[in-house]
Amino acid sequence: MIRIFYRSGAEICLAQAEKQLTAIGKDNVLWIDLISPSGEEKRAVEAFLDTEIQSRAQAEEIESSSRFWEDDKAIYANTNFLSPADDEMLMDPVSFILADRSITTLREIPLRSFDTLQRKIQALPDQFPDGFTVFVEIMDKRVDLDADIVELISKDVSQFSKRINQQEDINEEFLLDINQLQENAMFVRENVVDKQRLISNIIKSKRCPKNSDIREDLSVILQDIASLINHTNFAFERLEYLQDTVVGLINLEQNSIMKIFTFVSLLLMPATLVASFYGMNVTLPLADKWWAWLAIALLMVFLIVGIWMIFKHKKML
């Protein structure tokens, strides 16, 4: 799918066919949005921009040289957009090509933030004179969404903390839930740091407009990102603390169980020793008396009670 936003007088119009690019002209194009494009659509845009559009595999490269570069025609940038899926986080690559007056985006999935922005562009065309203003708006909305994800993680951390304080369902499954939340926090931090690096490179670029509010807006977004990184780090540290607490509680519970088994074994050990002596096939004292069994039983009870009292006196129970 292709969406082309172009200027027509004071308005910004929408075209949805790659064949219209030639008639529109480069000077009038504001935003070319490619969503899982066909080969024909991709080739048409490449010919129109006189450049090459990256494949999904290239967009997912983690090397710095693959995340951002520029030439005499445009700025090329790649980043990932997070989307929650059940208990996990999915990272979908989005590619940007920033030319003098236009922006081209390439993505594989629909994004609600893009749809909202496209409606805003058509409703308020005066606020979007070029592709850089569109890029700033995309990054601003994306950072807001990342902030919402960080807030959700913080709420989950608080709920986990309450469950620990109330000793509710503290088991191995709960520990795995904390580990999954840690994984999500790491994904968010990685994603936010990637945007921080991208925007910093945009600001340093010679192609970034100097005499405009673009640099100032991008600097504000960088400050928001720095705040998000701090919040994410704090959430991750809390999760590590909760994980250590859960492991400690599980160990204490297991130690208590082992303590009970050990105590029962020690409690019965003297009585078992007496019983084993009188179970031997040899002549033993009192063996020929009718009341011998009663004396042996009383001795065993005495030994059990005696050991119980010793442990209680030593406060070992």
d(CA 190, CA 80): 9
- 290 and 166 together in one domain: no
Number of domains in the chain: 2
**Per-residue confidence (pLDDT) for residue 165, from 0 to 100:** 76
- 191 and 293 together in one domain: no
- 263 and 157 together in one domain: no
Using the 3D structure, point to which of 251, 270, 298 is the last residue of a domain. 251
- 164 and 177 together in one domain: yes
Chain length of the chain:
317
- 201 and 309 together in one domain: no
**Per-residue confidence (pLDDT) for residue 282, from 0 to 100:** 58
pLDDT in tens, 67-104: 788 888 888 888 888 877 777 777 788 888 888 788 88
- 242 and 266 together in one domain: no
d(CA 302, CA 256): 26
Can you give the CATH number for the domain in which 274 is found?
1.20.58
- 171 and 263 together in one domain: no
**Per-residue confidence (pLDDT) for residue 251, from 0 to 100:** 76
Q: Which two tokens stand for residue 234?
A: 């704090």
- 212 and 280 together in one domain: no
Using the 3D structure, point to which of 206, 225, 251 is the last residue of a domain. 251
Q: What's the one-letter identity of residue 192?
A: V
- 125 and 256 together in one domain: no
**Per-residue confidence (pLDDT) for residue 164, from 0 to 100:** 75
**Per-residue confidence (pLDDT) for residue 59, from 0 to 100:** 52
Residue 139: how many other CB atoms lie within 10 Å: 22
Cβ contacts of 285 within 8 Å, gap of 6 or more: none
- 179 and 292 together in one domain: no
d(CA 85, CA 88): 5
pLDDT in tens, 211-246: 678 888 888 999 999 998 898 888 888 888 877 777
- 150 and 260 together in one domain: no
Q: Which residues of the chain have pLDDT under 50?
A: 64
- Please report the sign of the dihedral spanned by the C-alpha atoms of residue 25, residue 27, residue 28, residue 29: positive
d(CA 208, CA 103): 13
Burial classification of residue 175, based on how many CB atoms lie within 10 Å of its CB (0-12 exposed, 13-18 middle, 19 or more buried): middle
Q: Are 44 and 19 in contact (CB under 8 A)?
A: yes
- 195 and 281 together in one domain: no
Can you give the CATH number for the domain in which 10 is found?
3.30.460.20
**Per-residue confidence (pLDDT) for residue 70, from 0 to 100:** 81
What region does 9 belong to: left with phi over 0, alpha with psi -120 to 50, or beta?
Answer: left
The DSSP code for 314 is T
Domain that holds residue 156: 2-251
**Per-residue confidence (pLDDT) for residue 27, from 0 to 100:** 81
Q: Are 142 and 110 in contact (CB under 8 A)?
A: no
- Angle at 96 (CA atoms; ends 95, 98), nearest 5 degrees: 165
pLDDT in tens, 269-287: 777 777 776 666 656 666 6
pTM of the model: 0.74
Using the 3D structure, point to which of 210, 225, 251 is the last residue of a domain. 251
